[in-house]
């Protein structure tokens, strides 16, 4: 009897030691649809322009998704990644848009002359008078901010978000699901028209943080994660519900393919015009809708 108990315990420890991570479902997904239940799945990249009227519910005066994401990254509430979604980025890597040259630190014992510069509390200052001694850079009669300053991304720099999602047809429930994997912040530097992703966050981290804020006892905290219905404020929803109900307009940039090319890259490589690639994005949307219809028929 003792030998049997010992063997059972040994088997239990061995099973625990060799246990592997569950690969039945996507660990980064919210829907948790098992792989064996997926009749159809494609990964899709979409760009949501926050300057569009249809997406204005995400960028209101009280609840701005760009501001919420930037503050969450800065506070460490959400981990930021690069476009590979593998390498973690520090808040400084995400928020700093232009790193200024570091000036010598301010020395209270030194006498500064006009146009001499010094760094104080993270900002660069320039002396406006001669024999400037024992006057802190915050004293405007003696100092002024120099033109060489570190610039940071703010909500005004963020023009849109990129959504990476898996479009899955669940054969058991005969229904199409949009399982969002990550959200990217699309921003431009001050004075520049070039828009590029500055950071990505896992959607499950975003979802959990929004869910926690949406159920806070403080009404001001709830307001921060509220999607605003411009036509009926009684139908305001949380950011999570807005994504779940697809209350946004996102243009398809890329559909999963062997070459990992975006739609524009495919057309550019074939010598086709940019205008044709724009129509191709809408065509991809129609093809997905037709695929869903055909699967229902099936």
Q: What is the pLDDT of residue 104?
A: 83
Residue 45 has pLDDT above 90, yes or no: yes
Residue 44, C-beta contacts closer than 8 angstroms, at least 6 positions apart: 164, 165, 166, 167, 252, 254, 255, 256, 288
Say if domain 100-149 classifies as CATH 2.10.10.20. yes
- What angle is formed at CA 183 by the lines to CA 206 and CA 201, rounded to 5 degrees? 55
Q: Which two tokens stand for residue 62?
A: 């009280």
Q: Tell me what pLDDT residue 5 has.
A: 47
Long-range contacts of 203-212 (CB under 8 A, 24+ apart): 203/28, 203/30, 204/28, 204/29, 204/30, 205/78, 205/79, 206/69, 206/72, 206/78, 206/239, 207/30, 207/240, 209/72, 209/77, 209/78, 210/238, 210/239, 210/240, 211/238, 211/240
pLDDT band at residue 17 using 50, 70 and 90 as cut-offs = very low
Q: Where are the alpha helices (DSSP H) in 80-188?
A: 91-95
In the prediction, which pLDDT does 9 show?
A: 46
Per domain, the residue ranges of the chain are 35-97+154-256, 100-149
Does residue 60 contact residue 224 with C-beta atoms inside 8 Å?
Answer: no
Is the pLDDT reported for residue 22 higher than 70? no
- Two tokens at 190? 């001050």
Say whether 286 sits in a helix, a strand or coil.
helix
Q: Is 9 or 111 the better-scoring residue by pLDDT?
A: 111
Q: Percentage of the chain with pLDDT > 70? A: 92
Please say if the pLDDT value at position 7 is more than 70: no
Q: Which of 28-37, 155-164, 265-274 has the lowest mean pLDDT?
A: 265-274
Check whether 64 has a pLDDT greater than 60.
Answer: yes
The predicted pLDDT at position 298 comes to 62
78: which 2 tokens?
């959400």
The closest of 183, 178, 182 to 166, measured between CA atoms, is 178
Average the pLDDT over 220-230 and give the result.
94
This prediction's pTM: 0.80
Question: In the prediction, which pLDDT does 126 show?
Answer: 86
Give residues with Cβ within 8 angstroms of 152, minimum separation 6.
95, 96, 97
Average pLDDT, the chain: 87
């Amino acid at each position: 009897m003792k030998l049997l108990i010992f063997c059972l315990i040994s088997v239990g420890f061995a099973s625990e030691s060799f246990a592997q991570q569950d690969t039945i479902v996507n660990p980064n997904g919210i829907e948790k649809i098992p792989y064996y239940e997926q009749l159809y799945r494609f990964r899709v990249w979409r760009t949501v322009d926050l300057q569009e009227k249809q997406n204005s519910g995400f960028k209101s005066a009280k609840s701005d998704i760009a501001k919420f994401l930037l503050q969450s990254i800065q506070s460490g509430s959400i981990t930021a990644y690069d476009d590979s979604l593998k390498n973690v980025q520090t808040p400084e890597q995400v928020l700093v848009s232009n790193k200024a040259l570091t000036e010598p630190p301010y020395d209270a014992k030194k006498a500064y002359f006009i146009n001499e510069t010094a760094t104080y509390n993270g900002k660069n200052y320039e002396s406006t008078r001669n024999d400037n001694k024992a006057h802190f850079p915050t004293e405007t009669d003696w100092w002024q901010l120099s033109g060489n300053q570190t610039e940071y991304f703010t909500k005004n720099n963020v023009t849109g978000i990129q959504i990476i999602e898996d479009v899955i047809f669940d054969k058991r429930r005969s229904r199409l699901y949009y399982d969002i994997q990550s959200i990217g912040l699309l921003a431009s530097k001050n004075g520049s028209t070039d828009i590029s992703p500055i950071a990505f966050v896992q959607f499950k981290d975003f979802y959990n943080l929004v869910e926690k804020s949406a159920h806070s006892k403080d009404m001001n905290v709830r307001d921060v994660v509220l999607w605003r219905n411009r036509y009926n404020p009684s139908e305001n929803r949380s950011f999570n519900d807005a994504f779940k109900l697809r209350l946004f307009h996102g243009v398809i940039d890329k559909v999963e393919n062997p070459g990992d090319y975006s739609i524009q890259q495919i057309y550019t490589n074939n010598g086709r015009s940019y205008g044709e690639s724009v129509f191709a994005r809408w065509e991809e949307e129609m093809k997905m809708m037709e695929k869903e219809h055909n699967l229902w028929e099936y």
